Each structure stands twice: as C-alpha cells, then as structure tokens.
Structure 1
Amino acid sequence: MSEPSGIIRDLRSRLDSKAALTLLVLLHSAVACLSLIKVATFQYYISFSAERVWIAVIVALGFSVVSLLFVVARFSFGYFAGFYFYTMILGFLWIDVFSYYSYPQLLAGISAALALVLFLLPVLFVRAPLRQLITLSNAGFEHLLTAILVISIGTIAVASTYNFRLVAIANIYDYRSALDFPGPVRYLIGWVSSTLLPFAFACYWLLGHRWRAGLVLILLLLFYPITLTKFAFFTPAWLIVLAVLSRLLEARTSAIASIFVPMLLGLILIVLTGASINSIPGKYFDLVNIRMMATASSALDIYNNFFSSHPLTWFCQISVLKPLTHCPYQAPLAVVMQEAYDLGNLNASLFATEGVASVGLYLAPLTALASGFILALGNRASAGLPARFVLMSSGVLPHVLLNVPLSVAMLTHGIAILFLLWYVMPRSLFEPKS
C-alpha cells in the first residue's frame, strides 16, 4: 500500500481527533433526525407532528450521548457495523414518538435503546485477536484470490441461465417476483456478491493490482441483471466511494462519513430544490435517505406493532429450526409483513427479528448482546489487519445487516465466510516490499 502524502496525513489526523469526531457524530445525529422530518412528507407510514417534536428532540438529544462511544472506541468491523445500527435505532426512536401504529411505544423505545447499548459494548470493545492456528502463505493467499474469481465467474455463468435481463431500475419490480434460483445457487449469489468479491476488490486495490480490481467491479455489476436488485447495481460504485474515502480519511472517520455525507447531500438536495420524489434529487433522496436508512428504522416500528398482537416466533423463523418446533408462521417473516401491511417484502435487522419478533421487548436487549458477541468475532478474526482493508473488504455488510436478520447475514450473505478469510490471511500481505 502506498503511503498518503504529508498533507493528507495531517488532514486525516486532524479529522480523527476526539474533538472532530465528537462534532461529526453529533452533526450526524442531527442530520438523521432532520432527514426523517422530510421523509415523512413522502412516506405515509412515517409520521411527523409539530406538536410532539419537542418530545422527539429530547429523546434524540438524550440518545445521542451513545454516539460518543464512537469517539473513544478504536476502529474495527464492529465499529463500522455499529455506527450504522446506531443511526437505525436513533431513527426508530424518532419515529416511535410520532408512530400511529399501536404498541407500547415507551417500552419499545427503552428496549431498543438498551438493546443498542448492550450490542455496542462487545462489538466496539471486544478486540482481542484470535490465535491463528492456520495461516496462509502470501503465495497461497494469491491462489485463494484467484479461486475466488473462478468461483465468482462460475456462479455468474450458472445463475445467468436462470435469469439475465437488462431492465431499467424503475422496472425491476415487474420481473423480480418471478425470480427463482435453486438453493445452492441462491447461497452462492449471496456469498459472492456480498462477501467474496468485495473482499477480493479490497485485496487487489490495496496491493496495487488495479486491473484485477476493475475486473472484480465488472463481475459485481453482472449480478444486477441476474438478481434485479439496486444493491447489486450500486455495489461497485459504493466500493469505489469507500476506497476514496479511506484514502483521504482515517478508518473511523471514513465509517462515519460513509453514511453522514450521503444523507447530508440527500437532505440538502431535497430541501433546496423542493423537488418531487420522481425528480433526480428526489430519486437520490429516496435511495439514500429513505431506502438505505429510514426504511430500516421504520421496519422496527412495524415489527413492534405486529408482534404486540401476534405470537412471538422464538426463533422458529430460522430455517434450520422451523422443522424442529411448532411455528405460528409458515412463510418467511418478510412475506408475513407484506401480507399484513402491503409494503412489499419487509425484511428487518437483528433488532427486529432476533429481537422483537423472536423474544419480545423485555428479552430483546439480551439477544442484541448475544448478537454483539457474535459480530465481535469479526474484530478478533481481523485483528492485525490494516483498518482500511477491514473497512473496504466489509464495505457492503453494514447495509446487509440493516436489512436482514443476523442468521441470514451470517449464512446467506457470507459474513461467517469473511471472518474465516480474515482469520487465515497472512498479516504480512500488505507490508511494503523491500
């Protein structure tokens, strides 16, 4: 990895200071709440009332103290994922004040806030490295990267026989419901697009193999006509953004800026232009401020409403457990939510699924704590690797975690595989060659 110039190093150190990070996280909290006020004008299921705004402000100010944990903690995978979860829970606490859904809102807010704090304690501060019983040589690791490319190309070739359709983003929903991949192909798509190729991109980019990194981006883009998801379409651009951000800023600042800057830009565009949701500024606001963040927060609002009057799952929604126990829901929870609220398939994060849906409000903080320890394994597996590499190689996973249960993220999207790759990597890989 080439070293940044003196000017860039000085800028990075200044922006990574405690004072700068404190200002940044507090500004981010304010932008997240202001964004939700604007979101409420476009999304009927998110409410806003000027009469109750003072309550929401007090709640947000009190909860923003939690963001100071990101000032004192060092960067890790848990730091990256944790900051996205902080934003999501802050958004839920804001929505909770105005929600027109019926559930015990005070209890739900307390439960969510406590769940996040308990989740953050392990993901931010459990960092002790795992003892490497297996370590690949540098040459062996190069062969592993080649194998990842071969597996990825094979997956794309096989998956494209089931679907390969070039359509505009606006029209993907006309065809996506008809997609049907066999189980093994579906798993390979998740592993390759969410974990293996972003991991390979980070390796090639930081090792200076720009052509191979470009090939990885092309392979990632090929998943768009296969899966017809916005996630696949924007992943290559997102990885480039992270590469640029992490070149200019330290890892902690990059993680925060990766969500703060896009949300701020969306808010500025929609306020200054007064554009409709179908305009170019409106579509950007819809993609970033609504779908990337507000939808994840509102999902927790909706799950609280549904499970306040329906049976809990006690984890029976996990596919391997469903045959072993009586489950009140035969369809996946996303489909259950779609049938109940007509908002499309509504997947949700671990706070909604392994938390509210599985064990209810009183026990949800404990499942969040357990989830924090699970994700903290990523901190331990990646200990000793450059922070910039950890950020880039896990670049899409915070978005995955916001929108699917932890069990799905670990298995279907391959987070467990990424932990294993970090664990076996040679720590000397990115050292300057003499």
Structure 2
Amino acid sequence: MSALSDIIQKLRSRLDTWAALTILLLLQSAVTCLSLIKVANFQSYIHFSGERVWIAVAIAVAFSVVSLLFAAARFSFGYFVGFYFYTMILGFLWIDVFSEYSYERLLAGCSAAFSLMLFLLPVLFIRAPFRQLVVLSNAAFEHLLTAILAISIGTIAVASTYNFRMVAIADIYDYRGALQFPGVVRYLVGWVSSTLLPFAFACYWLLGYRWRAGLVLILLLFFYPITLTKFSFFTSAWLIVLAVLSRFLNARTSVITSLFIPMLLGVAAMALAGYVLHDPLSKYFDVVNIRMMATPSSALDIYNHFFASHPLTWFCQISVLKAVMSCAYQDQLSVVMQDTYGFGMLNASLFATEGVASVGPYLAPLTALASGFILALGNRASAGLPQRFVLISSGTLPHVLLNTPLTVAMVTHGTALLFLLWNVVPRSIFERPGLPD
C-alpha cells in the first residue's frame, strides 16, 4: 500500500511542475480548437472555412499565453472557475472568426479577452483568509452534515409532488418547459443539487464515510426526474470523476485534466465515427464537447449579436431590480433568446449577461473585474481547507457559472451558501489520523 502511495505521490509531483502544467495547458487549448472544428458540423451558424482558419489559429495562439497564468498560480476555488472560463473565452474567440452573425467582431473579441484577464486577477491571486466568526466543533459539524441530508431528502420529497417523470434525455425538452415550482421549492432544489449535496459528498468521501457518500450520490440522481436537466443526470458521475482524478493528481492538474480528457475523448470519438457506430459517439460529443463547452462559448457569440441591435438591460434582468426600474424585456433573457433564435432556453455566463447584455462590450471588462472580486470571496472562505476538498465540494459550480448569470449562480444555485459553509468548516476535522488519501 505504501509503494502505491509513493508512486501516486511521485506522479502528482511530476505533473504539477510549471513545465508539465504548461504543456498540458497548451494541449488543452489545442484540443478546444480542434473540438470546435468538429462542432461546426453540428451548428448551422458556425461556418468553418479553410480560408479563415489561419486567422483563428493566430488568435488562439496569442490568447493561449493567458493560460500560462494557470501554470504559475496556486490552486483555489477561483483557479477552478477561472480555467473553465478561460476555455469558454478561447472557444468564443475561435467561433467569432467563423460565426455567421454580424456584429463588431474585433470589438467583441477584444472585450471578451480583456474581460477574462481582468476577471482572473482577483480570482487567481486574492487568497487572504477570512476570520472564522463561527468555529464549529467536529461533532457539531457532523451534525450539520446530517441536517444537510435531512433537508435534501425533504426537498426531494416535496419537489417530487410537483414533478417526477422518468424520461430519456433526448425527450426532456418535451416536458421541461411545463415545469412549475413554487419559489421556495425552486430555491431549495438549486441549493441542494448544486451546493449542499456536493458539499456533503466531499466531506463524507474525504472523511472515509463511504456509505454516506454513496447515499449522497443516490440522492443527487433523484433530481433528474424532478428537474429534467442533463446537469442533474450527470452530477453524480461528475463528482466521482473529480474524486478519482484528485486521488491521483494534484488539484491544479485535476482541474485541467477534468476538461482536457473528456474533450480529447470527444474529438477522438468523432474521428472514429466513420469506422464504428456513429450514433453513440455523436451523443457523447454532443453532451461533452458541444453542450458542456461549445454552448457557453456560442452563447457569448449570440448575445453579442442580439445586443448589437437591441437595447442593453443595465441589469434590469435581475428580478429585484426589474421591480423598481424600467426594462425593455419583460421575459427572462433566456426566453427572449429562445423566441429570437429558436435554440431553446439559452442562459449564459456572467461575461454574456452581466457583461455584454447589461453594459455592452466597452464596459463589460469592468463587470468582469467586479465579478472576479465577488468570486474571490470563495478563495478567502476556503483558505486553510484541503485543496482536494475545495475541488470536489465546488465541483458543480464551474458548470453552473458557465451557463447562468453570476447573480443566479450566487443566489439560486447557492454559491454564496457554499462560501458560508466553507467558512464554518472546522479545519481540524481533516487532520484526524487514519483518514483516506
């Protein structure tokens, strides 16, 4: 057993060097662009052209210099989120070259690139810990975990009375538009599925309570027939992937490979599609390469096109503000995009919503900087906790942030709640002897 631990430790150390991370980061950037070449075969508004590919390659190569920040920065919650946003913005800069939509491409691209760089400054480099105002004992913290399980079970039971439908993933859109939950239930579903249960899973897994960790994964699966989202269907599997990756790799390498390996497999699957059954391979590519990564990049492309010729929101899409200020849009922006483009309910990240939609491309970098300071609070709240715990417990949030505005992620999906939970975790609970690696 000690020999295996030594091998794992050597692997972690060798892959966590600046040189190894740099190579991995550049490979991930290349795979992102290769993936988008294949995505163009599925997305009608992206027209890949050999004549313009060198422009896209030059832009991608220049922008990939930004990825070297992830070889230098230490791991944090902001590192996790920031790398996913880097991949999304790289994807947008590539799509921007080939998109059929008409808007000021150079302005949009420069705005997105500058927005990311300003966003990364606080989320990568602000890590000073908060003072723990409430310090729970180890026993009290385990009672808190039990309370989280009880709240989760109660939420599932109540939400199931409004909807519980077993349907294939391909059919979820036939039913999801009709889902209606009361406000309290809607918030509880978001908090439990995105924050509370992943937090509980990370705690139980790293404390060695394997059966309780397994129960958490089962509870997460119950949210699929309730919410009919791909996100809820794959959450349990995703947390397992993060737990396995972080067992063999350090946190920074785990973050990068959590995108690199799935996307590389998707590119390989499509390369093999002409030799084996096409349908299963295209479904994998659709879920991972298109839905998980290309869609958030495409959303930024679509929002740039829409708001180039429509009024900005000036944050009136936030329900609290809409009640006290005039707004050009009475429906949610996702509904507006669905009615305009017919691609379904198209939510988008903070770069598209709090940025392009709210203030336009000129001021978007400032909202990105402000958003970076807000998410850097997670770095401060989690300071002193094991990196592996921070990685697993926040495992769903990079995907949430890629696909929803910052305000929705912070409130509806419970990101702010996770920051609070991190702050009250007793740091000594992970220092007990005999805990698994």
TM-score, with length taken from structure 2: 0.97
Residue 329 of structure 2 is matched in structure 1 by: 329
**Alpha-carbon offset, residue 47 of structure 1:** 2.3
Q: Which residue of 2 aligns with 1:248?
A: 248
CA distance in 2, matches of 1:167, 1:52: 42
Q: In 1, distance between residues paired with 2:410 and 2:21?
A: 30
For residues 273 and 158 of structure 1, the distance between their equivalents in structure 2, rounded to whole angstroms, comes to 43
What is the Cα deviation at residue 343 of structure 1?
0.5
Verify: 1:104 aligned to 2:104, yes or no: yes
Matched, 1:62 2:62: yes
Match of 1:416 in 2: 416
Runs of 5+ in structure 1 lacking a partner?
none
Aligned position for 1:128:
128
Shift of 1:311: 0.3
Cα gap change, 1:321 to 1:20, in 2 (>3 Å): same
Structure-2 residue corresponding to 1:355: 355
Shift in Å, 1:272: 2.0
Tell me how far apart the structure 2 counterparts of residues 3 and 335 of structure 1 sit (CA, whole Å): 56
* Residue 146 to residue 4, structure 1, CA distance change in 2 (3 Å): farther
> For 1:32-431, what aligned pairs fall within 5 Å after superposition?
32-274=32-274, 279-431=279-431
Verify the 8 A CA contact 1:275 1:281 in the aligned structure 2: no
Stretch of structure 1 that moved more, 272-281 or 224-233: 272-281
Q: Residues 276, 357 of structure 1: CA spacing in aligned structure 2 closer, same or farther, 3 A cutoff?
A: farther
Choose 285-294 or 37-46, whichever is displaced more: 37-46
The letter of the residue matching 2:96 is D
Give the secondary structure class of the aligned counterpart of 1:418: helix
What amino acid maps onto 1:109 in structure 2? G
User: Is this contact kept in 2: 1:303–1:352, CA < 8 A?
Assistant: yes
Q: In the alignment, residue 244 of structure 2 is paired with which amino acid?
A: V
How far does the alpha carbon of each residue in 1:135-182 deviate from its partner, in whole angstroms, 9 at most, with x for none? 111111001000000000000000000011111111111111111011
The question of whether the paired residues in 2 share the 8 Å contact of 1:4 and 1:247 is answered with no
Q: Which amino acid aligns with 1:87?
A: T
Contact 1:42 1:277 in 2 (8 A): no
* CA distance in structure 2 between the aligned counterparts of 1:377 and 1:39, rounded to whole angstroms: 35
Question: In the TM superposition, what is the alpha-carbon distance from 1:257 to its structure 2 partner?
Answer: 0.4
Q: Relative to structure 2, which stretch is displaced further, 45-54 or 145-154? A: 45-54
C-alpha offsets along residues 101-155 of structure 1, whole Å, 9 cap, x if unaligned? 1110000000000000000000000000011121111111001000000000000
Deviation at 1:433, TM superposition (A): 2.9
Letter in 1 for 2:414: G
Distance change (3 Å), C-alpha of 1:72 and 1:3: farther
Per-residue deviation, residues 353-397 of structure 1 (Å, max 9, x unmatched): 000000001000000000000000000000000000000000010
Partner Cα separation in structure 2 for residue 302 and residue 12 of structure 1: 40
For 1:46 and 1:342, locate their aligned partners in 2 and report how far apart those are by CA, in whole Å.
Answer: 15
Whole-angstrom distance in 1 between the partners of 2:274 and 2:80: 32
| SS of 1:118 mapped into structure 2 | helix
Partner secondary structure for residue 75 of structure 1: coil
Give the unaligned 5+ runs of structure 2. Answer: none
Q: How many angstroms does 1:78 deviate by? A: 0.3
How far apart are 1:212 and its partner, in Å?
0.2
Which amino acid letter does the alignment assign opposite residue 207 of structure 2? L
1:281-333 CA-partner distances (Å, limit 9, x unpaired): 11000000000000000000000000000000000000111011000000000
Hey, which bits of structure 1, 4+ residues long, moved more than 6 A? 275-278
The whole-number CA distance in structure 1 between the counterparts of 2:18 and 2:324 is: 50
Give the Cα–Cα distance (whole angstroms) in 1 for the partners of residues 47 and 137 of structure 2: 55
CA distance in 2, matches of 1:355, 1:46: 23
Q: CA RMSD in A?
A: 1.3
1:340–1:172 distance in 2 versus 1, CA, 3 Å: same
- Tell me: CA distance 1:393–1:257, structure 2 relative to 1, closer, same or farther (3 Å): same
- 1:319–1:3 Cα change, 3 Å: farther
Q: Distance in 2 between matches of 1:3 and 1:78?
A: 34
User: 1:432, CA displacement in angstroms?
Assistant: 2.7
SS of 1:179's partner is coil
Cα pair 1:78 1:378 within 8 Å, conserved: yes
Gap change, CA 1:204 and 1:170, over 3 Å in 2? same
| Per-residue CA distance 1:73-123 (angstroms, 9 max, x = gap) | 000000000000000000000011111111100000000000000000000
Helix, strand or coil at the partner of 2:247: helix
Q: Is the 8 A contact 1:296 1:403 kept in 2?
A: yes
Q: Determine helix, strand or coil for the equivalent of 2:165.
A: coil
Matched to 1:423, the amino acid is N
Cα distance in 2, alignment partners of residues 281 and 87 from structure 1: 23
Partner of 1:24: 24
1:360 aligns to what SS in structure 2? Answer: helix
CA shift, 1:46, in A, is 2.1
Q: Within 2, Cα distance between the matches of 1:347 and 1:20?
A: 35
**CA displacement at 1:276 relative to structure 2:** 9.9
